[in-house]
């Protein structure tokens, strides 16, 4: 029987996994420089957590949840996103620690039963950050600045930041009524899905990509004309802060998001290289969610970046190739144990001492091949140095595979390691 990875999932293989590690390390570095600390939540949560936050009428909850009943009869769901679990953990463990501000982040796989296509999977990875506590526009600006810093950190510049405001509990319902009215008058020109959205979630009509809906969408009233004064002022302050930070952005009055918990600012970052699935990530303010989950009134804002999409758009810019620093070449079978011990020492790892920082990447051929075959393998791996065993009378014989030079090296494995580290850095 032949097995394959489930539809919509993908294996991350050597060659690619180094790019992932590099992306993760870069993102973690930027996040920690901004003061964000990681929370790792379970892959599954009570189903209700997502129904109550993401929203019953959203595509995610209606069509895309991986829900199952466990043996105890509980309804559980593989997390389709990271914000609701993080807010749950924030409240469960009182992560505010009495402070008015918490900066938290996460990184891991999410699950949505979507139709797979380029850049869209059923298991995909997100990097997310959530800023819980501040309601001021400066928080929105920090969030967008952080988002941009991560994607600039991984090396690409050609992105567009789209921002919009969805209003709050005062002005949004008025706007929803206005568009319900407007689309109600044009119902015959709407696609089947939009007819359904008109009943359940009229805001989502604004996000429809079907060509036949576009003329009606173009004439729809804008949320920005319906904002109440506090929401308008907030949105203006967000834009002023983005200008002060020199972050280029566009106001996108039709930007709505696929999750119901948003209030006021929403944003997405798009990359031209991604085609149809061109949002690298998105986020927004969710000032009611903490309270909805039983906590105190606490504004919050966050975003998630899709890692597959980020890597797709980063393309060749993504770093992280892997090659060994050293191959220990076993010229005689009798030297095999010595080769294992020397490799361990060059790695900076010992039988009795703690690991030293900054060891070398060292591999030994265990297939019992000839020295010539081992050298071919070492060169195919892109190895920098070959060290031959057993030793020659004048010490270790070392070949610099890039310079093509051979040198004998006297001394202990530790002194050989120091010498190789210096040479590798030069």
The reply to whether omega before 390 is within 30° of 0 (cis) is: yes
Q: Which is nearer to ligand HAM, 116 or 253 (CB)?
A: 116
Q: Is 284 in the site for ligand HAM (CB under 6 A)?
A: yes
Which one among 133, 167, 202, 281 touches ligand HAM, defined by CB under 6 A? 281
Nearest approach in angstroms of CB 117 to ligand HAM is 9
CA distances (Å), 313 to each of 118, 277, 281, 322, in order?
12, 11, 12, 21
Of 233-241, 251-259, 317-325, 355-363: span binding ligand HAM (CB under 6 A): 251-259
| Contacts of 91 by beta carbon, 8 Å cutoff, 6+ apart | 290, 293, 294, 295
Alpha helices in 229-304 (DSSP H): 229-244, 289-292
CA 127, 131, 135, 138 torsion-angle sign: negative
With CB under 6 A as the contact rule, the residue among 304, 313, 374, 397 that binds ligand HAM is 304
Burial of residue 404 (number of CB atoms within 10 Å: 0-12, 13-18, 19+) = exposed
Stretch that binds ligand HAM, among 91-99, 123-131, 345-353, 388-396 (CB under 6 A): 123-131
Two tokens, residue 129:
């950050």
User: Could you tell me the two tokens for 402?
Assistant: 């890039």
Choices 89-97, 220-228, 252-260, 332-340; region in contact with ligand HAM by CB under 6 A: 252-260
CB of 234 to ligand HAM, least distance (A): 17
The site map against ligand HAM for 126-165 (x = CB under 6 A) is: x-x-x-----------------------------------
Q: How far apart are CA 163 and CA 176, in angstroms?
A: 19
* Bridge pairing between strands 159-165 and 123-132: unpaired
With binding defined as CB under 6 A, does residue 299 bind ligand HAM? no
Q: Is 279 in the site for ligand HAM (CB under 6 A)?
A: yes
Q: What's the Cα-to-Cα distance from 90 to each of 78, 79, 302, 351, 365, rounded to whole Å?
A: 19, 16, 14, 42, 49
Q: Does 302 bind ligand HAM (CB under 6 A)?
A: yes
85 lines the binding site for ligand HAM (CB under 6 A): no
Instruction: Give the x/- contact pattern for ligand HAM in 99-118, rule: CB under 6 A.
Output: -------------x-x----
How many residues contact ligand HAM, by CB under 6 A?
Answer: 28
Residue 324, interface with ligand HAM (CB under 6 A)?
A: no
């Amino acid at each position: 029987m032949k097995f394959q990875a489930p539809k919509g999932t993908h294996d991350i293989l050597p060659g690619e996994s180094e790019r992932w590690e590099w992306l993760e390390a870069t993102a973690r570095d930027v996040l920690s420089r901004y003061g964000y600390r990681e929370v790792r939540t379970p892959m599954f949560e009570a189903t209700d957590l997502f129904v109550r936050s993401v929203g019953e009428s959203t595509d995610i909850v209606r069509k895309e949840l991986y829900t199952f009943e466990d043996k105890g009869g509980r309804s559980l769901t593989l997390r389709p996103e990271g914000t609701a679990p993080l807010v749950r953990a924030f409240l469960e463990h009182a992560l505010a620690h009495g402070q008015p501000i918490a900066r938290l982040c996460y990184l891991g796989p999410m699950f949505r039963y979507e139709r797979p296509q380029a850049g869209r999977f059923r298991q995909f990875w997100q990097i997310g950050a959530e800023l819980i506590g501040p309601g001021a526009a400066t928080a929105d600006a920090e969030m967008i600045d952080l988002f941009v810093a991560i994607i600039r950190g991984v090396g690409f510049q050609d992105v567009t930041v789209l921002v919009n405001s969805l209003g709050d509990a005062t002005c949004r319902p008025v706007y929803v009524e206005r568009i319900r009215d407007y689309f109600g008058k044009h119902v015959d020109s709407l696609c089947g899905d939009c007819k359904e959205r008109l009943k359940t979630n009229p805001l989502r009509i604004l996000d429809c990509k079907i060509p036949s809906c576009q003329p009606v969408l173009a004439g729809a009233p804008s949320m920005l004309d319906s904002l109440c004064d506090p929401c308008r002022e907030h949105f203006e302050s967000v834009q002023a802060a983005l200008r002060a930070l020199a972050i280029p952005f566009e106001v996108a009055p039709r930007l709505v998001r696929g999750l119901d918990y948003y209030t006021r600012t929403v944003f997405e970052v798009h990359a031209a290289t991604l085609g149809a699935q061109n949002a690298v990530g998105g986020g927004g303010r969710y000032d009611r969610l903490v309270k909805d989950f039983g906590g105190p009134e606490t504004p919050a804002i966050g975003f998630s970046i899709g890692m597959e999409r980020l890597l797709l758009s980063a393309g060749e810019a993504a770093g992280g190739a892997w090659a060994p620093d050293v191959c220990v070449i076993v010229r005689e079978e009798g030297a095999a144990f010595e080769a294992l011990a020397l490799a361990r020492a060059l790695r900076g790892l010992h039988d009795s001492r703690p690991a030293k920082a900054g060891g070398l990447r060292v591999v030994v051929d265990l297939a019992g091949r000839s020295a010539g075959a081992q050298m071919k393998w070492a060169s195919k791996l892109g190895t920098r140095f070959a060290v031959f065993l057993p030793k020659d009378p004048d010490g270790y014989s070392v070949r610099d595979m890039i310079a093509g030079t051979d040198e004998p090296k006297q001394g202990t494995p530790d002194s050989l390691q120091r010498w190789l580290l210096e040479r590798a850095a030069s």
